Amino acid sequence: MFYQQRVLVSLLRNSIKLALKQLKNWMAPEKAKTSLTTFPASAEIVSEPLGVVLVISAWNYPFLLSIDPVIGAISAGNAVVLKPSELAPASSALLTKLLEQYLDPSAVRVVEGAVTETSALLEQKWDKIFYTGSSKIGRVIMAAAAKHLTPVVLELGGKSPVVVDSDTDLKVTVRRIIVGKWGCNNGQACVSPDYILTTKEYAPKLIDAMKLELEKFYGKNPIESKDMSRIVNSNHFDRLSKLLDEKEVSDKIVYGGEKDRENLKIAPTILLDVPLDSLIMSEEIFGPLLPILTLNNLEESFDVIRSRPKPLAAYLFTHNKKLKERFAATVSAGGIVVNDIAVHLALHTLPFGGVGESGMGAYHGKFSFDAFSHKKAVLYRSLFGDSAVRYPPYSRGKLRLLKALVDSNIFDLFKVLLGLA
């Protein structure tokens, strides 16, 4: 897991470097076009801080998901209160120590605690609330924000599908799915693949390839692998066990299924054709279980995805250009990745966020700056060139002239001025 943590720290360093490098450009007023209606005038859009914002972060990537939004909030000029997750107490304590040591406490504060402290924070009036976590708690956050008409960014999750076409490089596809699922916190990631859709004909090849690569990566007993993350706590272990122990689900295991509650370890587990109405297909898994659903043809995958709430991410593996284009055009998700898993997170030029039940709002790069800024419209007019057309008494001629001005129609304006209309 040391390797993964180094990667996450590098992502944070890149976010900070980008903000330092680009902040002057982000802050610069954006010129806006004007029209005949306001002539002579100039206009611009000015970014200003919202004020004091609350950031409530998640436990699965406690540093990345805490500091990354704080970078955007500070860049935009806000004061920030950060509430780390109590489910990662060591990280929460370290964040408190480091931020108090290196950041101005009058601008950035950390509040530790659990439900009581979070509830107390939500009773206060904020200028924006940024939350990363489950849709269940997202609803609580939104309800609390509504009392003060506080805008929110909700980074939630959902059941992110992976569609695998037979026209693909099977080995590369399988390796990228494995790393995207089990290499990312053993499935405890909001953009982790939640289920696979493929054809009945192709499924056996896909499963055999996954078994082969999983053994290469994690050995014959993956629970003992140092590269396999633990489940965060006993409550989440029991939740995942409940998903797996349903009778109609446990019979569908084709690989894995081993559990070690004492060490909070669950092996990578593949299931084939679990019932669509089972618990494992009704809620976000957020763990090392991966159902594969088989279809008569890949066209059916679009119906399956569209019949469910919009996910945070959707993935497709194929060489087929038309399928890529159709997938990107018709599947609604927070983000689409073709031929890889979760790598869109590393691009600061792309917004990261959900849609529908997977969240609202987006951040990363300039999108973080924008998420914590108010875009203020500013219009500068001259006191010269004042027109009598806007003032009483009104006439039909004034009305025609005013209409031409509002429509910004230069041809009609000249016709009115020349007495031709």
Note whether 177 and 101 are same-domain residues. no
Is the pTM above the cut of 0.85?
yes
Note whether 45 and 133 are same-domain residues. yes
Give the strand order in the sheet containing 30-32.
30-32, 41-49, 373-381
CATH number of the domain that residue 236 is part of:
3.40.309.10
Note whether 110 and 213 are same-domain residues. no
Question: 162 and 341 in contact (C-beta within 8 Å)?
Answer: yes
Note whether 229 and 312 are same-domain residues. yes
> Which listed residue (48, 100, 112, 155) is catalytic?
155
CA distance 395 to 48: 42
Q: What percent of the chain stands above pLDDT 70?
A: 95
Note whether 147 and 174 are same-domain residues. no
Note whether 63 and 128 are same-domain residues. yes
- The residue among 320, 353, 386 that closes a domain is 353
Note whether 203 and 331 are same-domain residues. yes
Instruction: For residue 190, indicate whether it is catalytic.
Output: yes
Question: Strand pairing partners for 245?
Answer: none
Q: Which tokens go with 265?
A: 């370890």
> Of 120, 99, 118, 121, whose CA–CA distance to 110 is shortest?
99
Provide the pLDDT for residue 1.
54
For residue 323, tell me if it sits in a domain.
yes
Q: Is 420 helix (H, G, I), strand (E, B) or coil?
A: coil
Condensed to tens digits (0 to 9), the pLDDT of residues 144-188 reads: 999 999 999 999 999 999 999 999 999 999 999 999 999 989 999
Q: Which tokens go with 220?
A: 């014959």
For residue 182, tell me if it sits in a domain.
yes
Instruction: For residue 155, indicate whether it is catalytic.
Output: yes
CATH number of the domain that residue 14 is part of:
3.40.605.10
Note whether 240 and 171 are same-domain residues. yes
Condensed to tens digits (0 to 9), the pLDDT of residues 71-102 reads: 999 999 999 999 999 999 999 999 999 999 99
Provide the pLDDT for residue 6.
78
Note whether 281 and 244 are same-domain residues. yes
Q: What percent of the chain stands above pLDDT 90?
A: 83
Using 50, 70 and 90 to split pLDDT, how confident is the model at 413? low
Provide the pLDDT for residue 407.
73
Exposed / middle / buried, residue 227 (Cβ in 10 Å: 0-12, 13-18, 19+):
middle
Provide the pLDDT for residue 324.
97
Question: 159 and 190 in contact (C-beta within 8 Å)?
Answer: no
For the chain, helix (H) and strand (E) counts, in that order, are 14, 20
Mean pLDDT, the chain, rounded, equals 93
For residue 34, tell me if it sits in a domain.
yes
For residue 87, tell me if it sits in a domain.
yes
- The residue among 353, 384, 402 that closes a domain is 353
Residue-wise DSSP of 148-207? TT--EEEE----EEEEE-SSS-HHHHHHHHHHHHTTTGGG-STTSEEEEEEETTTHHHHH
> Of 23, 1, 14, 2, whose CA–CA distance to 345 is shortest?
14
Residue 4 in this model has a pLDDT that exceeds 80: no
What is the rounded average pLDDT of the residues 119-145? 96
Provide the pLDDT for residue 56.
98
Domain that includes residue 91, residue range: 2-156+363-376
What is the rounded average pLDDT of the residues 226-254? 93
Note whether 295 and 184 are same-domain residues. yes
CA distance 146 to 116: 19
Total tally of structural domains belonging to the chain: 2
For residue 221, tell me if it sits in a domain.
yes
Residue 411 in this model has a pLDDT that exceeds 60: no
Provide the pLDDT for residue 417.
52
When computed from its CA atoms, the radius of gyration of the chain, rounded to whole angstroms, is: 27
Note whether 141 and 202 are same-domain residues. no
What is the rounded average pLDDT of the residues 376-397? 87
Q: Which tokens go with 96?
A: 């408190």
Provide the pLDDT for residue 23.
97
What is the rounded average pLDDT of the residues 312-340? 97
Note whether 310 and 237 are same-domain residues. yes
For residue 404, tell me if it sits in a domain.
no
Provide the pLDDT for residue 3.
62
Angle at 44 between CA 22 and CA 24, to 5 degrees: 15
> Which listed residue (184, 190, 213, 284) is catalytic?
190
For residue 419, tell me if it sits in a domain.
no
Using 50, 70 and 90 to split pLDDT, how confident is the model at 409? low
Condensed to tens digits (0 to 9), the pLDDT of residues 353-372 reads: 999 999 999 999 999 999 99
> CB neighbours of 335 closer than 8 A, spacing ≥ 6?
191, 312, 313, 314, 344, 350, 352
Residue 405 in this model has a pLDDT that exceeds 80: no
For residue 67, tell me if it sits in a domain.
yes
Q: Which tokens go with 415?
A: 């016709």
